[in-house]
Structure 1
Amino acid sequence: MTTFAAVDLGASSGRVMAGRVGPGTVELTETHRFANEPVRAGGTLHWDILALHRGVLEGLRRAGPVDSIGIDSWAVDYGLLDAAGALLGNPVHYRDGRTEGVRLGIGDEKLYEITGLQKLPFNTIYQLAAARDTPQFEIAQRLLLIPDLLAYWLTGETGAEYTNASTTGLLDVRTRDWSAPLIAELGLRPSLLPPIRRPGEVIGEHKGTKVVAVGSHDTASAVVGVPAAGEHFAYISCGTWSLVGLELPAPVLSAESRRANFTNEGGVDGTIRYLRNVMGLWPLQECMREWGSPDIGELLRQASRETPVVVDLDDPGFLPPGDMAQRVAKAAGLPPDASPAKLTRCIVDSLAVAHKRAVEQAQELSGRHVDAVHIVGGGARNELLCQLTADACGLPVLAGPVEATALGNVLVQARAAGVIGGDLAALRTVLRDTQRVVRYDPVRR
């Protein structure tokens, strides 16, 4: 079998997975997991990028000899390099408040027409608007998104992988290249943005091992890892965020789509990830941190016996960290001392309703119906969430694989190496033949 290293960086932890691919076999082994803990310094929330780099190097060391390396991470955040290629400070965290109140000179309608992106205050374009008058920005020569920055440190080569670049608000969704009008609007030097590269391209080498571009936005890799049969499926990549949508051949740029705040992000093989960001499991993760990290299985069992209460998890008031349990209780009209089980049921029910809303809107706006909903990522382990999502959507939910992102990362590398062939449908056939998927049928009440 051939072995590939998948570097997968999430909002709360990073890990390196060794993926072994052979005839009828795809096996993953975690070689190293490390914390991803943001640091607040000088009033600004930063990523500890050097700690992440150290974790990546340790994971690659433990993985041993591999045929290639692929890196994926969250979207929108970036590092700036000076003329010598040195990093100008720690990258700022997308949950930092620096983009509050930032306005662009270009209208929302025109921006959506060019980029097709959901309007989110932390998109790269707003971060750049907030930072463009800083001394760092004035001397910066290159902007690299997080996976591209780590790839640069491994190989010495700069570039911008397409699927992640498509989330910045600076890419033209039609031409699939940087938008000159938006670059001019922000007053950016065009040379600040590196050339676009595509999944499957070789970036360079790290100690004699190829580093290969994958779907470097973790959701792009996760969608590759959806074991769907045919095209009539919705996906939910469920973790800290829930990314809910469809895989389409072309963007949906209607006024109705813009008003519904749907996004058109680039996918592997030129597909479009037509989706909405839903708050996901972030409120529950924050509550559990406040509660001292209780056993999640027991908490969900207790929650299943509670009466449902639904709140709007897309309320931006749930975005910042801290005091989450009190905020959820207040929004739900529950007493401040509401039990963890009651608050958990509220969060999970609310998330299932948000999933239903996004799946239905995606179908209506795109004109494509779906026959099933695939939940991948950490949320696929949450049996209560999967069942409530099936009940809310009135569709079967197929849960798994949990490691869809790492699997998608590995499969793109394996295809680039010639170990497997074919299009996305062929890659998904391999997944259906090798990965465990649990089916939840809707309960009629």
Structure 2
Amino acid sequence: MHHIAVDIGASSGRLVHAQLLDGHIQLKELHRFKNEFHHVNNHFCWDVHYLMDEILKGLAIAKQHGIVSCTLGIDTWAIDYALIAQNGELLQPVIAYRDHRTDHTMSSVLQQMDGPTIYQKTGIQFLPFNTLFQLYEENKDILAQTASILLVPDYINYRLTGRITAEITNASTTQLLNIATREYDEELLQILGLSRTHFPPLIEPGTVIGPLSMDAFPTYDLPTCTVIAVASHDTASAVLGTPASTDNWAYLSSGTWSLIGIETKQPIVTTQTLEENYTNEYGAAHTYRFLKNVMGLWIIQEVQRLLPTAYTFEELVEKAKKVPPLQQYINLNDSRFINPDNMIEELQAYCLETKQHIPNTEGELAAAVYYNLAIIIAHHLEQIVEIVGHSIDVLHIVGGGAHNDFLNQCIATFSQKTVVTGPTEATAIGNLLVQLIHVGTVESIEAGRALVRRSFPHKVFTPLPCNQQQLFSAFLHATTFIESEG
């Protein structure tokens, strides 16, 4: 039986084919394409028409490879949405979360409902680009014409099948779902001037959405596809694809963002988690992803893009290794790093303002990003242990960042935890596991994770000797100070 995952992140997308052979998952990438936002009508916007075309190209390639029927699942980033008119058409381009329209919106919303009340209702962290704040800033004339509000993977599912639904793991990121009822909160919708009818019915991962509408795409020779709702928030799929085998484990989904947390059966909503801005996003099988958003490899991607000489990430790592460690403390979670005009100048300005060594060379810039990212991750891992009240034995790092041995060794040393890296394709794998569980090939999430452990290689990083840890512990305290000042 054939299964295809469409996995689209903030910088690229791909279609990945899977079969179960000899007790192992066999993956093959069918099609890969770039993804980026563009400046349209004074906003940064995603080109969802382009994404649809690339998905259809990938499915046509699958047909050329002899795949005549398959299941199909879509996952993307969270938060951003499409506004759909009564006639089913897109009312405006999909505005990207890194757009600046919500830079100062949070304070306006909090004047109408205070932060502790919103957090008690939703359990979701406060980020300036959450859907709650984006919709508050939305053009009211366009909202008045809106029949349905669809998050990006739900919009793609709608275009593929003609059926309007909302997969719940992604919907939970909007900061609009009530964590007690697992439904949209009416009081929050009132603040936005919206009603429950603007949002589709919520469905769980594993729900069949419907068949691919072949007639809608007559110019493509496509396989027969059954579209299944997977854990459509890419982090939810990545956590599902994490090959954990113990009880006391944490995950780091390391990519454009660094998302560090644990999987729980119940949300954790306390005064401390509110103050520290932790979130409780929904996972597959009624689990919760208790996690912290950390600005991730987006920063080094921007640094690489702006350097006058073209370097690969591997070359930047080698340059970073030659730089004395930890020459400055940078709170990479500061909102100034979400989408500055120039990331290099923003990093340098931060160091100038805080009277620290200013990184100038390629190696110094890369070292500043990698060391501080590792510090912040280690800090939050320590904080999670404090919040949950039990030890964490292993940190599983999945996603593209699992390739970065230098960064992952720093994380192991700073946190004094065993780090296990891989698979890099955890998001696509988690997407595919929902499909395999749906068709009955895999019995459960636990069985799926055992299958992942058998099927994909991993690396283990152990902390460096304790004398270095004594030095690094000071930097954790410095990070805490900077975060409180930031």
What is the TM-score normalised by the length of structure 2?
0.89
Q: Hey, what's the Cα distance between the residues in 2 that align with 1:176 and 1:63? A: 37
How many matched pairs? 442
Q: Please list, as runs of the form range in 1=range in 2, the aligned pairs for 1:371-410 lying within 5 A after superposition.
A: 371-410=393-432
Deviation at 1:23, TM superposition (A): 4.0
Q: Hey, what's the Cα distance between the residues in 1 that align with 2:24 and 2:272? A: 43
Q: Which of these residues, 192, 196, 210, is aligned with residue 190 of structure 1?
A: 196
Aligned residue identity for 1:101: H
1:171 alignment counterpart: 177
1:118 alignment counterpart: 125
2:369 alignment counterpart: 347
1:307 alignment counterpart: 324
Q: Hey, what's the Cα distance between the residues in 2 that align with 1:266 and 1:325? A: 35
Q: Hey, what's the Cα distance between the residues in 1 that align with 2:322 and 2:225? A: 52
Deviation at 1:34, TM superposition (A): 1.0
Q: Which shifted more, 237-246 or 294-303?
A: 294-303
Tell whether 2:225 aligns with 1:209: yes
Q: Please list, as runs of the form range in 1=range in 2, the aligned pairs for 1:212-291 lying within 5 A after superposition.
A: 212-291=228-307
Q: Which shifted more, 178-187 or 105-114?
A: 178-187
Q: Which of these residues, 73, 94, 99, is aligned with residue 96 of structure 1?
A: 99
Q: Hey, what's the Cα distance between the residues in 2 that align with 1:237 and 1:123? A: 19
1:159 alignment counterpart: 165
Deviation at 1:337, TM superposition (A): 7.2
3-state SS of 2:318 partner: helix
Q: Contact conserved, 1:286 with 1:322, CA < 8 A, in 2? A: no
**Cα deviation 1:266-324 (Å, max 9, x = unaligned):** 00111100001000111100000112541222221221121123311111111114321
5+ unaligned residues in a row in structure 2: which ranges?
215-223, 469-486
Q: Hey, what's the Cα distance between the residues in 2 that align with 1:12 and 1:109? A: 34
Q: Please list, as runs of the form range in 1=range in 2, the aligned pairs for 1:401-440 lying within 5 A after superposition.
A: 401-422=423-444, 424-440=445-461
Q: Hey, what's the Cα distance between the residues in 2 that align with 1:335 and 1:368? A: 37
1:298 alignment counterpart: 315
Q: Once the two structures are aligned, what percentage of the paired residues are identical? A: 38
Deviation at 1:107, TM superposition (A): 0.8
What is the TM-score normalised by the length of structure 1?
0.97
Q: Contact conserved, 1:70 with 1:410, CA < 8 A, in 2? A: yes
Q: Contact conserved, 2:294 with 2:333, CA < 8 A, in 1? A: yes
Aligned residue identity for 2:269: L
3-state SS of 2:289 partner: strand
Coordinate RMSD, CA, aligned: 1.4
Q: Contact conserved, 2:74 with 2:230, CA < 8 A, in 1? A: yes
Q: Hey, what's the Cα distance between the residues in 2 that align with 1:443 and 1:389? A: 10
2:476 alignment counterpart: none
**Cα deviation 1:214-261 (Å, max 9, x = unaligned):** 000000000011101122111000111000101011011101110000
Aligned residue identity for 2:462: D
Q: Contact conserved, 2:359 with 2:368, CA < 8 A, in 1? A: no
Poorly superposed stretches of 4+, deviation over 3 Å: 332-337
Aligned residue identity for 1:289: R
Tell whether 2:350 aligns with 1:331: yes
5+ unaligned residues in a row in structure 1: which ranges?
none
**Cα deviation 1:106-150 (Å, max 9, x = unaligned):** 11000000100110010000001111x532111100000000000
Q: Hey, what's the Cα distance between the residues in 1 that align with 2:142 and 2:321? A: 50
2:78 alignment counterpart: 75
Deviation at 1:55, TM superposition (A): 0.7
2:13 alignment counterpart: 14
Q: Hey, what's the Cα distance between the residues in 2 that align with 1:111 and 1:363? A: 25
**Cα deviation 1:171-203 (Å, max 9, x = unaligned):** 111221211222223220221011000000000
The structure number with the bigger radius of gyration is: 2
Q: Which of these residues, 363, 376, 380, is aligned with residue 358 of structure 1?
A: 380
Aligned residue identity for 2:38: V
Q: Contact conserved, 1:145 with 1:160, CA < 8 A, in 2? A: yes
Q: Hey, what's the Cα distance between the residues in 2 that align with 1:180 and 1:136? A: 21
Q: Hey, what's the Cα distance between the residues in 2 that align with 1:171 and 1:364? A: 27
